[in-house]
Amino acid sequence: MRKHLLLHIILLALTSFAIASCAPKEEQLIRSSIQELIVTYPEATLQDIYKSCFQDYFGPGHIIASEEDAREYLNYELQTTDSFPGPLYEPTAYNGYYVRANLSLIANGMVSFDDFFAAFIKSAKEYEPLLSIEEWKIEWQKIVDVSSEFREKLPTFTQDSLMIANVLEGGDYVMHHSESYSIAYDPHYRIIKKEIFESDILPIINAKIK
């Protein structure tokens, strides 16, 4: 019995050590991701950091109600949009579990509507939450702590932090881009799982670039 108890204590100690040793690496990943987002999108706010990091864990699954409606809305967005600024594609955040794929890929003829939409829907169908909402709240607090280092570049940091905390406390967790981000960058993209993007979309892009 004592032997088993001692073994259990040792395993707990090793687990705690592993978690502690991973923390600085994760913190640096978060910091680099936030810094890159702010450099790429200077008008971004903490709300946009939230959205990007949330997408990284939860992907597109929370917004797909109907495949037919999703197809119609994608087609509508393409037909009613004149320009699609921003990178062709980029990782959602520091884990890179998902990719933000710009609708310019379709509009510019680089990827067909059907191929793009199929990858998007495939991502939604394979969606599994990587965190529970309670776990996400803990992860978000880590992100807020790192984001506070960039207060000078996030002038609405304090009010955004309080607003997001209130939203989470109220049981909601989905968030739109901030008004300043939407006006400055007019984002038009879909979230696609990294593995699906790399297998189904990226080869098409690379073939067109060559």
Note the pLDDT tens digit of each residue in 9-52.
333 343 333 333 346 788 999 999 999 999 999 999 999 999 99
Looking at residue 19, its pLDDT comes to 38
Taking the C-alpha atoms of residue 50 and residue 161, their distance in angstroms, rounded to an integer, is 10
Mean pLDDT of 170-184: 93
- State the distance between the two ends of the chain, measured CA to CA, in whole angstroms: 66
Give pLDDT tens digits for 122-146: 998 888 878 888 999 999 999 999 9
Looking at residue 13, its pLDDT comes to 40
- The number of domains in the chain is 1
The alpha-helical segments, DSSP class H, found in the chain are 2-40, 46-58, 67-79, 104-107, 113-125, 133-147, 157-169, 179-185, 194-196, 202-209
Residue 89 is which amino acid?
A: Y
Looking at residue 14, its pLDDT comes to 37
Of 110-119, 165-174, 183-192, minimum mean pLDDT range: 165-174
What average pLDDT does the chain have?
87
At 159, the pLDDT band (50, 70, 90 cuts) reads very high
Taking the C-alpha atoms of residue 192 and residue 197, their distance in angstroms, rounded to an integer, is 6
Q: How far is CA 61 from the centre of its chain?
A: 12
Query: Residue 200 in contact with residue 81, Cβ under 8 Å?
Result: no
Global pTM reads: 0.85
Q: Which domain holds residue 181?
A: 2-209
* pLDDT reading at 75 higher than 90: yes
Q: Which distant-in-sequence residues (6+ apart) come within 8 Å of 20 by Cβ?
A: none
* pLDDT reading at 63 higher than 80: no
Looking at residue 181, its pLDDT comes to 97
Query: Residue 135 in contact with residue 143, Cβ under 8 Å?
Result: no
Looking at residue 66, its pLDDT comes to 85
Looking at residue 21, its pLDDT comes to 37
